[in-house]
Amino acid sequence: MEKKRMVIESIYLRNFRNFSDFKTNFKDGINVIYGPNGSGKTSILEAVAYLSNPRSFRGARDHQLIKLGEKFFEINGKILSGNESHEITISYHHDEIKKEKIAYLDGFKVKRFRDIQEIFIAIPFSFKDYAMIDGYATQRRDFFDDIFSLLDLEYYEILRNYEKLLDERNDLLKEENIDRDYVIYLAKEMQPLAEKIVEKRETMIKELSKYLDPMFKVEYISEFKGKNIVDYIEEDIARGITTVGPHVHDDYTFYYKGNPAKYFASEGQKRLLYLSLVLAFRKLIEETKLYEPVFLFDDPVNVLDPHLLEKFISHLSGQVIIASLSPLLGAYNIGLTLEG
């Protein structure tokens, strides 16, 4: 069966990050957004990714994406999905009266963001993320959660519902007069979602590992597995937060030639490990999905030496958008200045 190829033809930004009013077009194949630091290259990648998964892949809250002094932002993208043309618009309003995120597909308000992901998927990778190998467990969980959410729409829904319940429960646990029964009820609602998150993470890491360079390995370790959230009610009340779950201590460990990469791999080998992860994700999608998504890469030139960069580019197909300090020969280059 022929794969559905996804392409973004243009994007329009209003009050997004440092852009008041900005529009640019893209071509199929390799696109390079280039310019000095601070010109907004990564912000454009962030906006493209937001059309697919409405959260910042840079970890920012929605209100932090609004241009300083404004109360809303809007992102509009013209999309090709297979042989069909679509228009996606996402706006976010934040003021004293309301906080509201609204998405439109072809002019009609969507009830679920998942509906958009069935039309357009853009997968972002920031080569600065290779620092997660030495970093905190939250960095590694966020990295894999963001990618898994795009690979598996059910995982996206489960994770989103779990996080909503988690936020609600944590807010209640901080109150002076805690509604114990309702806190227990929320724990029971979260439990099956938490167990499903662990199950899906294990499955997806197993699938990903099939395409990883043999010198590297990634292992998912769940300290939550076998535990019940409701059993920790006393500790949760005492500490004012949900203390167990796949959001707390679950982690991913990277190995280089059988040894923990954090301690035994050089900086160059860690970069190569990250590159292997990126290419493994791409291969996993190629082998298992009926679509060809847009790939977004932030600053590979600053991390990869010329040899690795050449190897990386040789593996790319479909539409690719790269943020870089300089243009790339043979690509469709989009130049930015510090004035945008």
Q: Is 37 annotated as a binding residue?
A: yes
**Cα–Cα distance for residue pair 73/92, rounded to 1 Å:** 6
Backbone angles phi, psi at 6, to 5 degrees: -110, 135
**Cα–Cα distance for residue pair 248/141, rounded to 1 Å:** 9
How many angstroms separate the most distant Cα atoms in the chain?
A: 64
Instruction: Please give the C-alpha separations between residue 268 and each of 96, 202, 265, 276, in angstroms, as whole numbers.
Output: 48, 28, 8, 12
**Cα–Cα distance for residue pair 207/309, rounded to 1 Å:** 26
Q: Which two tokens stand for residue 299?
A: 């600053």
Q: Is 36 annotated as a binding residue?
A: yes
Non-local CB neighbours of 217 within 8 Å, separated by 6+ positions: 209, 254, 255, 258
User: Containing H/E element for 293?
Assistant: none
Q: Is 42 annotated as a binding residue?
A: yes
**Cα–Cα distance for residue pair 179/42, rounded to 1 Å:** 44
Q: Is 35 annotated as a binding residue?
A: yes
Contact between residue 305 and residue 14 where contact means Cβ atoms under 8 Å apart: no
Q: Is 289 annotated as a binding residue?
A: no
Angle at 115 between CA 73 and CA 209, to 5 degrees: 100
**Cα–Cα distance for residue pair 20/69, rounded to 1 Å:** 11
Q: Count of H helices and E strands in the chain?
A: 9, 15
Q: How do beta strands 332-335 and 30-34 pair? A: parallel
Residue type, 90: I
Contact between residue 294 and residue 318 where contact means Cβ atoms under 8 Å apart: yes
Q: Is 41 annotated as a binding residue?
A: yes
Q: Is 306 annotated as a binding residue?
A: no
- Bridge partners, 216 (sequence order): 256
Which parts are annotated binding residues? 35-42
Which parts are annotated binding residues for ATP? 35-42
